[in-house]
Chains A and B, each alone.
Chain A
Amino acid sequence: MAKNSDNLIKDKNPPALQIRNLKKTYDNGMVALNGIDLTIEQGDFFALLGANGAGKSTAIGAVCSLVNKTSGTIKVFGHDLDFERDMVKSFIGLVPQEFNFNIFEPVIEIIVNQGGYYGIQRKEAFRRAEALLKHLDLWDKHKQKARNLSGGMKRRLMIARALIHNPKLLILDEPTAGVDIEIRRSMWVFLKQLNSAGTTIILTTHYLEEAENMCKNIAILDNGEVIENSNMKQLLSHLQTERLVFDLKEPMATLPSSELFKIQFQDANTLEIELDKNSSLNFVFDFFNQHNIQILSMRNKRNRLEEFFMERISQNNKEKVSV
């Protein structure tokens, strides 16, 4: 189905996802989305970020027909969800935040059945499932009941399930939550390959390092509103300063000051330096040499996106208070 739907795309290059003024108020009165706009181009690798409760899963739910939107429009590859729901559904693959398969079913059944729901013959679905599971390093578990899988394996099972119908848009809601670093890395490689092969990907994550590594564009949701929507590179280049942490060989009592950068103690063995991002690190080392400070190791205090994220959210909260 994914194949023939290619020629049904209306404009030549409509956005993979276009959301206009999307609102969602839950039955209990909770306003989860307060009129968001988002445009995600074809081929993008898009990070949807935000604190717990910001509205990410609600927005994804509305796009995937799991949440009834209150108002607004959603278009997927130019097709309006309200008028061409089945078409829209066939474009999207979803890896939900919560495990939502039948834990008593064997892994292979779960994936093959999902193929069936998209109209894929059992034989063909089985063939695809085998390839996906092998790719995701899960094939040796394919006959196991899903409840026998570890948390990280369950995530990978959901990725395989989401890809069974070759979706053009893959949406992953915290796919790496609870996944060990090794598997996470291999997932990154897998998703990057998928993206290079043409699949548009939307990802939510609380590991900002992950978003920084993989995503081309980014939006930050806060309290049901989009407070930032930009290109990752540009955004990071706007960050003015960088914080570095240095572990000292010997504890220091007094702190020399510098005119070139801000310097402070974290504790007697650790220095923190805030440096304009255009200035050279050599100054810092000159400074250490001058004062005969021995450095054991150095690292970034936080990753840069994380820095920006925290700043932007607290700024948004301040704006809210002052209104």
Chain B
Amino acid sequence: MSWKEIWIAFKAVFIKEVLRFSRIWIQTILPPAITMSLYFIIFGNLIGRAIGKMGGFQYIDYIVPGLIMMSVITNSYSNVVSSFFSAKMHGNVQELLISPTPNIIILLGFVAGGVARGLGVGAVVTVVALFFTDLNIQHPIMTLLVVILTSFLFSTAGFINAIYAKSFDAVNIVPIFILTPLTYLGGVFYSVNMLPPFWRDVSLFNPILYMVNGFRYGILGISDITPTATFTLLFVFIGLLFSVAIFLLSRGIGLRD
């Protein structure tokens, strides 16, 4: 395929992905907006007042970046895992497998779809947050970079999950048993500096901590983690997962008998 044809193929996969989650926006866009509003009302407004300040900020301001990030992570992941898994189960992934579209474009197309949903939901949650508080973004470029890279990373992870998944159960295992706990423990609601030293050190093994804090640094200008550590971790994980995904795709694991 020529570069132009490759670009057309990428757009085709991407548009299909965006149309897919847009068609079912009641399942994909609305629920996070509602859940996050509840978080803002309960944790931010009601309980937050009792908590007082954290990291020098009102509690609601402190948790806003974490909650946005949480919705970006889960939505990026679940978009790709459910879309690619059902393409596999219903056989329509064959439309791509028989075509000359290169594997890397298939992957990038699905990942871009996941990023679109992650950022879309992130934007909706941000708008909801603006009803409760004001946001003064300190480092806009860093904010944007962290959120895009995080979304990219979890979209790629969702893709790998879909390749291995053999049932709809297997699609939910990772989000429920790994992603959600890691996110809750990833400094969304508290600063790890509040933890006893041992648990603080353990927390440093949680990659999501780096992303949440990187994003918080972008918005509020405070973080438990240095921006360098955040970016290093993001690039290393993206490099790793992306290579794994390409390898699995080229071997046709779970796709070709």
Interface residues of A (CB under 8 A from B): 1, 26-27, 61, 64-68, 85-87, 89-90, 92, 94, 96, 98-105, 109-110, 112-122, 161
Contact = CB atoms under 8 A, between A and B. Distances in A.
B12 A68 contact: no
Contact of A120 (B6, B8, B13, B90): B8
12 contacts: A1-B1, A66-B94, A92-B98, A96-B94, A100-B95, A109-B16, A116-B11, A117-B13, A117-B100, A119-B1, A119-B4, A119-B8
Contacts of B99: 89, 114, 117-118
Contact of B98 (A27, A65, A109, A110): A65
Given A100-B92, A119-B6, A26 B257 contact: yes
A236 B122 CA distance: 68
A102 B101 CA distance: 18
Nearest to A85: B100
B177 to A, nearest CB: 28
A57 to B, nearest CB: 11
Given A67-B256, A67-B257, A119-B4, A113 B12 contact: yes
A92 B16 CA distance: 23
Interface of B: 1-2, 4-6, 8-9, 11-13, 15-16, 19-20, 23, 86-87, 90-92, 94-102, 252, 256-257
A119 B6 CA distance: 6
A101 B95 contact: yes
B253 to A, nearest CB: 10
Given A67-B256, A67-B257, A109-B16, A117 B4 contact: no
Contact of B23 (A1, A99, A104, A116): A104
Contacts of A104: 20, 23
A100 B94 contact: yes
B24 to A, nearest CB: 8
Contacts of B256: 65-68
A92 B97 CA distance: 12
Contact of A117 (B12, B23, B86): B12
Scoring B96, B98, B101, B257 by chain A CB atoms within 10 A of each residue's CB, the highest score goes to B98
Given A117-B9, A119-B4, A120-B8, A98 B91 contact: yes
